[in-house]
Structure 1
Amino acid sequence: MVKPIVQLKNVSFTYPGAENTVLNNASLTINEGEFLAIIGGNGSGKSTLCKTFNGLIPKFYVGDFEGEVLVQEMLTADYTVAQLSKDIGYVYQDFENQLMRPTVIEDASFVPLNYGLADYKERGEWALKVTGLTPLRNEFIWQLSGGQKHLLALAGVLAMKPKILIVDEPVAQLDPQHAEEVYDILKKLNKDHGITIIVIEHHTEFIAKYCEQVVLMERGKVLWKKCVKDALSQVSELIGHSIYPPQVTQAAYLLDDFLKKDSYYPITVDDAVKHFHKGKVENNDIDESAEISQRLLKKEKKIVQFNNVSLQYRTFKKQKKQVLSNINLNLHEGDMVALVGNNGAGKSSLMKLITGINKPTEGDVFIQELKTANTSAERLGDIVSFVYQNPEEMFIDDSVRKDIEFYLKVRKVPDYEKIVDQLLEDFSLTEIQHRDGRLLSGGQQRRVSLAIGAAMKPSIILLDEPTANLDIATKKQVVHMLEKLKKHVQTVVVATHDMQLVSEWANRIVVMNKGTIICDGNRQEVFGDEDLMQKAGLSSPQILQLSNALHMNPLCYTVADFASRWNVKKVEGGISEYCEEFA
């Protein structure tokens, strides 16, 4: 028998001083045991909706609240946040704020200890086992990677063995392999322990593979709740709300050969292989590997050079920890490098060596022939710009324009106003130049951070996870902005777990694992090596997996590329006009 576990009835909410309502007469029923995804563009009200479930809204985040929320038939207005949180676990988007204790095991046991549960230690150990963190049980929190911290936040919530688990962006900061593991954990908790799972998710490929129900939100309204296959088949409607269905679903939509209006599109690679296997595809013998290798051989100007570089840290216990080992790497003018690998592979440490924040324990790093060990951070700052994963860390003034011009004014660059005007135009920021960057949307903040990095006129710019926590539509805007960086810098290096970004943007991929470089090549050399992908914790984008399964040559790295290769016409004029929105 289906039993409701969460019910929202005509819920509206407005933050103090805000002009617009964040929730607008929202009604929703979530049944016990469901695995449900809540989707919607940035600012649609997804996180606010979920914060009503455990009473954070309106009891912690105060404001104008109307309507009723019932959880397990309890009216949340009659209970405290602490009472509700016993059965409702929540992993927030800013999950690091949930880490309270110095060591991993202490943090995993912290919540049940605070509730006075006698078996708090056993619960903590169980949660670490479920999340795969047992080998790190005695590590200090600050020694963990971002992905490991995210898993620990999940473990801390699981220690209470909640009946409802809400996870805001489950795969944020995780490499593809660990992202799959997190969703496998959630699936196991759902199937084996009966926990109702609610995820706020932008990655529709994970929704397609793991979720059963999908809720679409827009401007604080719940537009609908549908089964996953039906939900993700609403391609045109989803795109209208800045949500992109799985790549294989987009491809089927572009090459639509369905006669029935209500037919479903494939949403997984396996579904798509069956869907497309009878079609006729155009193949050719383009050898991307040879083409790119030849281009790289012609490069002469080296911007960055690593010669037998190793790096060690001293831990809190004064022990030496090897972070990088025997790194040899040259970066050239014109390189658009994707730095990839599993969590803890050493990507951030390598970038810190380029900036001069860290000095090598062994070997030498040269930036434009300057040896970093003998060069001041200020001098290196004229050559290297680092754009942080969290854009707000780069905002120091009260407007976008002031943040962009800060470096130029400090260095007394002549006519800096003209430079700033050009950057504002290039990064589509002119209309918001006088707004406070900290109050902008995630996508706008990312554009501002890129402009700040470019303002320094560096030879090389380093970006740490530039597409993290962004919806897919906003990610596409950021990729477009990365293209614009070419006119401002010589070399771009992006550390990322976003394989779609890698496949669509990079002309060179450096793969790291356990502090070493295990591959330095192009898309074919990396994505075509299954053993390498497995070792580095990577996974190919859906459209590449599909084109590989269909033996397409060359492989396709974008939906538009895939669609253009088929002898199918959606309309008399072909499909080119439809491909533009997926390019």
Structure 2
Amino acid sequence: MIELSKVSYTYPHTVQEALHQLSLVLEKGHCIMVTGPSGAGKTTLCLAAAGILAHEYGGKKAGIVTINGKNVADYPGLSAIAETIGIVFDDAEAQMIFTTVEEEILSALEYRGLSPEEIEKRLSEILEITYLTSLKDRSPHHLSGGQKQRVALAATLALGNDVLILDEPTSELDEHATRRIVSILKNLKSLGKTLLIVEHKFSHFHEIIDTLVVMEHGAITSIGQPDEVLKNDRIRKMVIPDFSGIRDGIIPAAPAAGTVPAIDIRHLSYSYGEVEALHDVNLTLTPGEFVAIVGENGSGKTTLVRQFNRLLTPTAGDVFIHGRNTKECTVTDLARDVGLVFQNPDHMFFADTVKEEVAFGLENLGITDRDAVIDAALTEAGLLHSKDLYPRWLSRGERQRLAIACVVAMRPKIIVLDEPTTGLDGDEARLVMEILKKHQQRGHTVVVITHNREIARDCADRIIAMDQGRVLSDTRAGGEG
């Protein structure tokens, strides 16, 4: 159905090939899962398979891509290809242009020329299977990252394409929502749909995968039935994250009597208009703790941590950072104490180079050895070789690591990360968590929002579970209350 033959591609203004002599066949009704480290070329493969590289991108191209036996270059445009192929990008928000969730889905249904009765029926079905019925009148731009991903998938499902290309469709989804998406895709496959999925959650998708493809440096380094591919130990560690042992030997120092809490939250509530996102939250985090905040999409996790540096100000209650009430501080003041890595790293970037991106945060902090600090942060993130590149040329995982480097370079006492392993393979995810544990050893307080149960279990000293804007539970490592 889709065939790539010796496809190579180099993005404009770069010399390194994003794809190198890549050949792949996606047969009708089959499901291929593509995985590998950030920067391996997975997203570029999706763009090539969907005909987007051929019709929308410059750069250096070689090889042939065919869809249903026809060269993608011979199609009159992407609208013709879109009759066969639907694609969900890794940045779901970039696909949203309407004011409500319902309108996003309706636009796709109306594009197909269906009758009003059929549109109403399919709208209801899609809202239900993607768990969006209760959100249909909300603005997609005000939803959580995971909820946005479900909206993007729903709009693509509404198009009714024979082929679905999904670039990390569950990267920001909780366990429950991920299982639901897998169930949806399993059903679509049973109906004869063809699936090309870029993912890192292998264990969730295992039962629907016909072929597992591992990419590195723009090429396929392993391909075949999943169980056969995973017999290679190196590949297995890349595909299946293992965080065991990270916490071993690291014992948080007990705070001295009278120590001021790193974060002290008192009767905190917050509302987006009439929608209450946090309700009477009370928490105290001591200096040097490693805390994981878990919960389903929309449970209030991101809203909570954005109170720490006053990106949001409490509707009611107070937040104290090292004894200072955030209401009495500016965002700039709090930047010295709290560094926040966003769920979508692209929201943090605006400079022309990776190095300048890191340098920006240091300009107002009076750090004298700036170049050394920048190089150290980029080296730790594995990005020193990319310091002169434009940040948005990096892969999703590389952009995630750049966002971490930007915050770490500022040396805040509290480091807060919203889903820091999104877009990373197993090896990279472990590396990020090891970096964060090192910062904990240096005395930093680390707060991580995560949907990854293994990260919470194997890395955190304390796990805070949230549900519907409330703290559901607060346990120490090992299950202590």
TM-score range with shorter-chain normalisation?
0.7 to 0.9
Counterpart of 2:101 in structure 1 is 104
Counterpart of 1:380 in structure 2 is 334
Q: Residue 453 of structure 1 is aligned with which of 393, 407, 428? A: 407
Offset of residue 469 of structure 1: 1.3
Offset of residue 403 of structure 1: 3.6
Q: Residue 317 of structure 2 is aligned with which of 360, 363, 366? A: 363
Counterpart of 2:197 in structure 1 is 199
Counterpart of 1:70 in structure 2 is 66
**2:110 matches 1:113:** yes
Summarize the Cα distance change of 1:353–1:162 in structure 2 as closer, same or farther, 3 Å threshold.
same
Deviations along 1:155-194, whole A, 9 cap, x unmatched?
1111122111111112111112211111111111112x22
Give TM-score, length-normalised by structure 1.
0.73
In 1, Cα distance between the equivalents of 2:24 and 2:361?
49
Counterpart of 1:216 in structure 2 is 214
Counterpart of 1:227 in structure 2 is 225
Q: Residue 428 of structure 2 is aligned with which of 474, 484, 498? A: 474
Summarize the Cα distance change of 1:456–1:190 in structure 2 as closer, same or farther, 3 Å threshold.
same
Offset of residue 418 of structure 1: 5.8
In 1, Cα distance between the equivalents of 2:30 and 2:436?
39
SS of the aligned residue for 2:102 comes to helix
SS of the aligned residue for 1:355 comes to coil
In 2, Cα distance between the equivalents of 1:368 and 1:106?
45
Offset of residue 509 of structure 1: 0.9
- Mapping of residues 496-507 of structure 1, within 5 Å: 496-507=450-461
Deviations along 1:362-408, whole A, 9 cap, x unmatched?
22222222222233333333322222233344344444444434344
SS of the aligned residue for 1:167 comes to strand
Offset of residue 499 of structure 1: 2.3
Deviations along 1:235-283, whole A, 9 cap, x unmatched?
34x25xx723476xx99xxxxxxxxxxxxxxxxxxxxxxxxxxxxxxxx
Mapped contact 1:400–1:434 kept (Cα < 8 A): yes
- Mapping of residues 487-502 of structure 1, within 5 Å: 490-502=444-456
Mapped contact 2:9–2:17 kept (Cα < 8 A): yes
Offset of residue 478 of structure 1: 1.2
Question: What stretches of structure 1 of length at least 5 have no aligned partner?
Answer: 252-287, 315-319, 530-583
- Mapping of residues 66-465 of structure 1, within 5 Å: 66-79=62-75, 80-118=77-115, 119-191=118-190, 193-223=191-221, 225-236=223-234, 238=235, 243-245=238-240, 300-314=259-273, 320-413=274-367, 416=370, 420=374, 423=377, 432-465=386-419
Summarize the Cα distance change of 1:101–1:435 in structure 2 as closer, same or farther, 3 Å threshold.
closer
Mapped contact 1:12–1:24 kept (Cα < 8 A): yes
Q: How many percent identity over aligned positions?
A: 31
Offset of residue 487 of structure 1: 5.7
In 2, Cα distance between the equivalents of 1:68 and 1:418?
45
Question: What stretches of structure 2 of length at least 5 have no aligned partner?
Answer: none
Give TM-score, length-normalised by structure 2.
0.88
Summarize the Cα distance change of 1:17–1:377 in structure 2 as closer, same or farther, 3 Å threshold.
closer
Deviations along 1:306-365, whole A, 9 cap, x unmatched?
122222221xxxxx2211112110010111111111101111111122212222222222
Counterpart of 2:478 in structure 1 is 524
In 2, Cα distance between the equivalents of 1:517 and 1:135?
22
In 2, Cα distance between the equivalents of 1:13 and 1:455?
34
Offset of residue 422 of structure 1: 5.5
Summarize the Cα distance change of 1:516–1:68 in structure 2 as closer, same or farther, 3 Å threshold.
same
> Which piece of structure 1 moves more, 503-512 or 330-339?
503-512
> Which piece of structure 1 moves more, 462-471 or 52-61?
52-61
* Count of aligned pairs between the two proteins: 474
Mapped contact 2:165–2:197 kept (Cα < 8 A): yes
Summarize the Cα distance change of 1:370–1:124 in structure 2 as closer, same or farther, 3 Å threshold.
same
SS of the aligned residue for 1:344 comes to coil
Offset of residue 470 of structure 1: 1.6
Summarize the Cα distance change of 1:64–1:375 in structure 2 as closer, same or farther, 3 Å threshold.
closer
Instruction: Mark the structure with the bigger radius of gyration.
Output: 1
> Which piece of structure 1 moves more, 335-344 or 457-466?
457-466
In 2, Cα distance between the equivalents of 1:128 and 1:304?
39
> Which piece of structure 1 moves more, 141-150 or 110-119?
110-119
In 2, Cα distance between the equivalents of 1:209 and 1:298?
53
Counterpart of 1:28 in structure 2 is 24
Deviations along 1:140-161, whole A, 9 cap, x unmatched?
2223211111111111111122
1:110 maps to a residue whose letter is S
Summarize the Cα distance change of 1:516–1:430 in structure 2 as closer, same or farther, 3 Å threshold.
same
Mapped contact 1:446–1:478 kept (Cα < 8 A): no
In 1, Cα distance between the equivalents of 2:93 and 2:364?
33
In 2, Cα distance between the equivalents of 1:458 and 1:492?
10
Offset of residue 433 of structure 1: 4.7
Summarize the Cα distance change of 1:127–1:299 in structure 2 as closer, same or farther, 3 Å threshold.
farther
> Which piece of structure 1 moves more, 62-71 or 37-46?
62-71
In 2, Cα distance between the equivalents of 1:220 and 1:433?
20
Offset of residue 75 of structure 1: 3.6
SS of the aligned residue for 1:476 comes to helix
2:238 maps to a residue whose letter is I
Higher relative contact order (CA 8 A, sep 6+): 2
Mapped contact 2:2–2:67 kept (Cα < 8 A): yes
* Alignment RMSD: 3.1
In 2, Cα distance between the equivalents of 1:425 and 1:13?
27
